[in-house]
Structure 1
């Protein structure tokens, strides 16, 4: 031991150093935690409860750490960006089975939306929040940032509700922009995490997924301010009413009550017998002429199984790109498909490659029973880094990085084509990820579609969470439009979904896996009413209104901050 007991000061110095280090790093760990919690909401974990708290660590890090100053905005941006990187790289990790560079680039780009929200959260952060941890006094949000000794509980609650409203609008608007900017990638919005809670998702017929996202973010913000107030009240040993929390919970209960009432409705429907074929063709065999005979045999055998069911199906669906090449242009593919279609009375809907002088298209065909004239739909929304490479010709570097994995680009279709079955029923042919796009799906419904039919091939992602995430995003199209959906996947999730978003039937093997070969047969109840939902008529109006609110707030708020900084200098 040193003379004079100098070990004690050394220990105190080390403790202070450790405490200082923790104060610096905990915000970054909190941002990482938010990204991880957001990932936990989606397949393969599917922990929907996590969405209600996913943003709370990030928000706490932005509001309750660090000092003010010119660099604070950049710090808030970076905290949000870190949370976004963690989320997108982990939630979409299955993309590595197709393109590792694409996964990296998607993460770098998508994280920008988290970053922008983090910056805005810092912008609306009341500076008095910091004083809560130091003095225990209730904060005021007035421009002079002087805390009130005893603010009205209603006034405090209204301020918190306003704060939650602005941040929920901003997040909802950013998710909407993410869904269309640069072709768009709107998967796994926070509202999608609620896909399995049928009562609450019924509001999607008015707001789309955006309304659910708004509710989730609103609850996250209210959770943070409520915990903050509890801590502040504990320090002064005084409890006060939390009207903001109570009103928020009442609103969520109200949404669930509405959904329960909707789920009890029994609309008039017309039964349609459907057989969805899942051939489970390995991706390395998919477009190989070497395996053409094997592919023909698989589809012929599975189609015979479908036709053997009683009563026979009205519609048989083969998945996306079911044949190893174009059907209408390739003689052998054309002969095989027409022979199968000519041998049955059922209509045949299949995914195919289509070609013309403009290029190749990812397409869907409907061949009426008895070999009527084929109806053709060419895909409108192409998947970046899957069906085309953004900036391939404008930015040579991108072509060098991913060009070997995506050697050519599909051409884009021109219009939404609705197929007419032999019995007169109208069908929306959605290809691949198009069933995750609400704005696109409503275009088909506005043209009279009563059934949504998705042909897809999630086999590109092997046995990953990509297939399950796909269907979880897709079921919201049924709620938004009040139309049922039949999905036929090459492999992944072949299923039938009713108009309330309930997955009614799923093709599984004896072990419960959806990655199998087989035929899913069943009766889909198609509503006879042509009623158009609010969402079908108006699309993403709710998200656009949220965007307007966020923009108006920024237009008003930023000049205030500039004037305040000018006054302080």
Structure 2
């Protein structure tokens, strides 16, 4: 029996990890979220006392590796070494959770008291610790919070609405809590878990209560989302689908500029009387820089000016675009780049009156936009070149401002929560821009680095939760997709009903060249959500309380001798 358990536990760990990978694009089998952790929970809780911690850590690490390696395979389009290294590092977090779940969060260990609420208590502690560790991996070493378990609800609007309470990491607690309770109720150890009927009823009652509350909250949010006055914003999204090798576009600068000019003007002409308020181009769309002096004086390279002037001949719309911005100073009435000038990856808003605003990206991509210690360790640049196939062009600087940008449509002012690249997957940064009053989330991104892989779809699945967490609509423009408009409830449906507002070809692929005239309603008095107010502190505190509380609970009862290895079914009497 022990030999069988020795073989089955690693298989259970791999099954849970592989199942989690199926929750996200390109598979998006979201229904598995209610079952996917059952195998690893049984494997961890049924471990004997001998080398329990070591075995649990190994099983959790196996689960993490089986999840992240296939889930992040799109990184191979840039670097094989980076894909493996990042995946194996991230696997440490499920391993840490497994260590907790097999010890302090284990209801099947000998000597544990079976109180009336024992099953939901252990389930909650495992769920809260998982969520806290998801927050930690999204914060530690600048963080990589990609695809927390809650993102599995990206195509389930009813349950995804609870993300505005504790964030999408807090949403991860819901399926873990349910599975952990059901495992305790349905798979019990003969030797020690003789639950009374009342305990089972309480445990199942807690599941029904939590699930019912989450469902009712989602229905309420969905049905009340369109109440109140709003500002209608019409934005023309232009996507050229320019191929790249790492950061290097495979089109010439002339081809890029002509592409944006021709596609934009064709869409403007086609729009007729329904002209756009905004024209949006993606991250680093224009090849010339913006030069910016310390006093706010600015200028642009001529190829940018020529492209914008050509658009201005046909449309007075505000132009929102991604561009590199360079630190400059005035010399004889001309702006010149400073020596050792800082350079930023920026989002620019340029209305017809020429009052330029820029947001400088905060959350830079490690080994993409900067390489730590490259000045002291220049061989790191050689490694980048060997892995990506292009020379490292130098590091970018980190933006500092946390003030939202501003915009106007038909005399009505509103705020802009700006994000560049994958910053729309970093909620702890975006919440710093939330203010009272009308706001829209804007993202310009370029996933061309990762070619036609699932990376872009995964980013979009994560990004749409920002609209839910902050109850602000989102407009995002990408080079290779996904260019779309997102409502404050996380859907892409047009505010007046109808088909989703996503730029896709006739086969449903977002890897296409084209334009999309998107519309969003910006609420004039949106709520400031609980998550916007407290951020990740809710998840952090719940995780800390769970670990401390279960540690204190452990001291109350001595542990019994080693238990049998495998769970068995109770016999009904």
- Quickly name the TM-score band, shorter chain normalised: 0.7 to 0.9
Which residue does the alignment assign to 1:346? Answer: 317
1:294 alignment partner, one of 255, 261, 271: 255
Name the structure 2 match of 1:14.
none
Residue 331 of structure 2: aligned partner = none
**Which residue of structure 1 aligns with residue 77 of structure 2?**
97
CA distance in 2, matches of 1:486, 1:477: 11
The Cα shift of 1:227 comes to: 2.2
Question: Where does 1:72-91 land on structure 2 (aligned, <5 Å)?
Answer: 72-91=52-71
Give the TM-score, by structure 2 length: 0.84
Shift of 1:223: 2.5
Which sits farther off after the overlay, 487-496 or 349-358? 349-358
Distance 1:237 1:540 in 2: 36
Partner of 1:208, secondary structure, is: helix
3-state SS, counterpart of residue 421 of structure 1: strand
Is the counterpart of residue 52 in structure 1 residue 31 in structure 2?
A: no
- Are residues 1:333 and 2:327 paired? no
- Alignment gaps of 5+ in structure 2: 292-298, 328-339, 494-500, 561-573
> What residue ranges of structure 1 are gaps of 5+ in the alignment?
1-18, 130-138, 143-150
Q: Deviations over 1:178-210 (max 9, x none)?
A: 111111111110011011111111122221112
- CA displacement at 1:494 relative to structure 2: 0.7
Which position in structure 1 is the counterpart of 2:396? 410
Query: Is 1:271 matched up with 2:271?
Result: no
Q: Could you tell which deviates more after superposition, 379-388 or 190-199? A: 379-388
Would the aligned equivalents of 1:320 and 1:489 in 2 still touch at CA under 8 Å?
yes
| Secondary structure, aligned partner of 2:252 | helix
| Residues in 2 aligned to 1:200 and 1:190: alpha-carbon distance in whole angstroms | 13
- Given that 2:261 and 2:311 are in contact with CA atoms closer than 8 Å, whether structure 1 keeps it comes out as no
- Counterpart among 29, 35, 49 of residue 68 in structure 1: 49
Q: What residue in structure 2 maps to residue 364 of structure 1?
A: 347
| 1:177 match | 136
What is the count of residue pairs matched by the alignment?
A: 520
Number of the residue aligned with 1:283: 244
Is 1:199 the equivalent of 2:170? no
Given that residues 305 and 519 in structure 1 are in contact (C-alpha distance below 8 angstroms), is that contact kept between their aligned partners in structure 2? Answer: no
1:290 Cα deviation from its structure 2 partner: 6.5
Correspondent of 2:523 among 517, 522, 527: 527
TM-score (ref. length: structure 1) = 0.85
* Partner in structure 2 of residue 316 of structure 1: 279
Q: Kindly tell me: are residues 529 and 448 of structure 1, through their superposed partners in 2, closer, same or farther at Cα, counting changes over 3 Å?
A: closer
Structure having greater relative contact order (Cα 8 Å, sep ≥ 6): 2
CA spacing shift, 1:397–1:21, aligned 2, 3 Å: farther
Give 1:417 deviation, angstroms: 4.1
The CA deviation at 1:115 is: 0.8
Return the alpha-carbon distance in structure 2 between the equivalents of residues 347 and 75 of structure 1.
Answer: 59
SS of corresponding position for 1:446: coil
Structure 1 position 473 matched with structure 2 position 462: yes
> Between Structure 1 and Structure 2, which shows a larger proportion of helix residues?
1
| Bigger Rg, structure 1 or 2 | 1
How do residues 151-550 of structure 1 correspond to structure 2 at under 5 angstroms? 155-156=115-116, 158-229=117-188, 232=190, 241-265=200-224, 266-267=226-227, 268-284=229-245, 287=248, 291-308=252-269, 309=271, 310-328=273-291, 331-340=301-310, 342-343=312-313, 344-356=315-327, 357-370=340-353, 372-390=354-372, 392=374, 399=381, 401-402=383-384, 404=386, 405=388, 407=392, 408-423=394-409, 424-446=413-435, 450-504=439-493, 505-550=501-546
Q: Is the 8 A contact 2:60 2:96 kept in 1?
A: yes
**SS in structure 2 of the partner of residue 349 of structure 1:** strand
